[in-house]
Amino acid sequence: MRVVTTLSVLVLGVGGIGHALVTGLDSGIGRVDPFRDMKNRPEDGNGMNILLVGTDGRDTVTKEERHKYRLGGAPCRCTDTIMLVHISEDRERASIVSLPRDSYAEIPAHTDLTTGKKHGLHAVKLNAAYAEGGPALTVKTVEDLTRVKVDHYLEVDFRSFMKTVDAVGGVEVCTVRPMKDTHSGLDLKAGTHRLDGAKALQYVRARHVDGAADLGRMQRQQRFVAALVQQATGSGVLLNPVKFRQVSTAALDSVRADRGFGTDQLLTLGKAMRSFTPASTEFVSVPVKDPSFPVKGVGSTVKWDRVKAERLFSALREDRPLAPERPRSAASARTARIVDVPPKQIRVQVYNGTQLDGLGSRVDAALKATGFDTTRAPLNGSDRSVKRTFITYDPRWDRSARSLAVALPGAELRPVKGQGPTLKVTAGSGFTSVTPVRADTPRARGVFGAITGDEVLCR
């Protein structure tokens, strides 16, 4: 999450400002050599592959900050985010593949950087590669797992992430329900919020908001990256030399990269991605076969679905899009209002409350078209003089009722105890149209279950 934030701001910024202001900025980057003495590497593919690693970073913040931002106790030499970012050969697409930090992996023989002890090939969780062998062992392990050649390595910590978000003026996110996580400190009411660096860190780290755990966190991270790209491209930050310098300085603070990633690489990416938008970014996670695969001496790991994973990484090597092109109907759905409950989970019976022939059928068809599970058998209401459309519902299904009401602007909500799960819509003479709605989380598409950034922005 943090490294994607840094990379997005830097790449977009270079494209907007140019070489004069970029020259010298890379002098503040800490350098590592993750490719030293590496053998039997994968063959070069098309496009550029960047391994992004988010480190624990608690050693870069004070004790007071760790307490304030709920960052836990003592720092550790570990990673909490590992991603492969593929930049297409034509520089028009970025594919971000999340590699679960608890993924089952077998790391090659090496010498432990902390203890000096020599290890042979052994099974671990993926994030242990960094703890035992730093960037070099992390790159080697990822390449062995994916057979994707890593061209560049970037590493970012907590402080850099917060400073970058503050420098761009904060990032706007929205939620259809309150979000509270006592572990990360996140506490948001339903609605739209502009998050500063500290709040943004809580937002992307939260995993105890609901039962979705890591899946929910990944979805929130996707929304955040898309919103960040929108903020960086639409706020004028990248066209203001002074502001851009401030953003770049913040983004590069605490960043470590391979020796080959410098001004020229930033400039090349920036020029190519000048028209970069949230729709240019694809998000996907490695297909998983067993999320709790037990390994003796290691614990519960995430075991990949090797067949599906190989298809995914083959697509990266061949520079193919991961998200299939959307049909026009799906493209128009991107502008739909976001609701709490997916329309397909809401059963609706429509009644015609007027003397207008066909109104019930028209309302039923419109609700069905936007995804609601209608009966497809509208009825005439007992009262045929209704002016204002109303929805009757069992209070136990109040979230469904509120979601349906978004699709019927101006409709009155009437609770009826004991009505059951089916919601009843009585169309009045004041009915005009149904507003398109979609679920809070877009449906993953294609073989790899990918989504694009524009599908997760606030509407």
Residues 260 and 172 in one domain: yes
Residues 319 and 450 in one domain: yes
pLDDT band at 415 (very low <50, low <70, confident <90, very high): very high
- The DSSP letter of residue 325 is P
Tally of residues, the chain = 459
Return the pLDDT at 416: 95
Residues 277 and 347 in one domain: no
Pick left, alpha or beta for residue 134 (phi over 0 → left; psi -120 to 50 → alpha; otherwise beta): left
- Residue 288's Cβ-count burial label (10 Å; 0-12, 13-18, 19+) is middle
- Residue 271's Cβ-count burial label (10 Å; 0-12, 13-18, 19+) is middle
Domain count, the chain: 2
Residues 42 and 90 in one domain: yes
Return the pLDDT at 329: 47
- The two tokens of residue 248 are 């770049």
Q: Which helix (H) or strand (E) holds 338?
A: strand 337-339
51: CATH: 3.40.630.190
pLDDT in tens, 280-293: 788 888 988 998 89
Q: Which residues pair with 96 in a beta bridge?
A: 85, 283
Residue 197 within a domain: yes
Domain containing residue 168: 2-329+445-455
Residues 372 and 310 in one domain: no
- DSSP result, 38-76: --SPPPP-SSEEEEEEEE--GGGS-HHHHHHTT--SS--
Rounded-to-integer distance, Cα 376 and Cα 362, Å: 10
Residue 336 within a domain: no
pLDDT band at 440 (very low <50, low <70, confident <90, very high): low
Q: Which of 207-221, 376-390, 417-431 has the lowest mean pLDDT?
A: 207-221
Instruction: For the chain, report the end-to-end CA distance as a whole number of angstroms.
Output: 22
Rounded-to-integer distance, Cα 17 and Cα 117, Å: 48
Return the pLDDT at 114: 75
pLDDT in tens, 344-395: 899 999 999 999 999 999 999 999 999 899 999 999 999 999 999 999 999 9
378: CATH: 3.30.70
Residues 323 and 348 in one domain: no
Which residue, 72, 33, 34, is CA-closest to 56?
A: 72
Rounded-to-integer distance, Cα 352 and Cα 349, Å: 10
Evaluate whether 157 touches 55 at the Cβ level (below 8 Å). Answer: yes
Q: How many degrees, rounded to 5, is the angle at CA 382 between CA 427 and CA 375?
A: 55
Residue 334 within a domain: no
Residues 88 and 171 in one domain: yes
| pTM reported for the whole predicted model | 0.72
Residue 50 within a domain: yes
Residues 238 and 367 in one domain: no
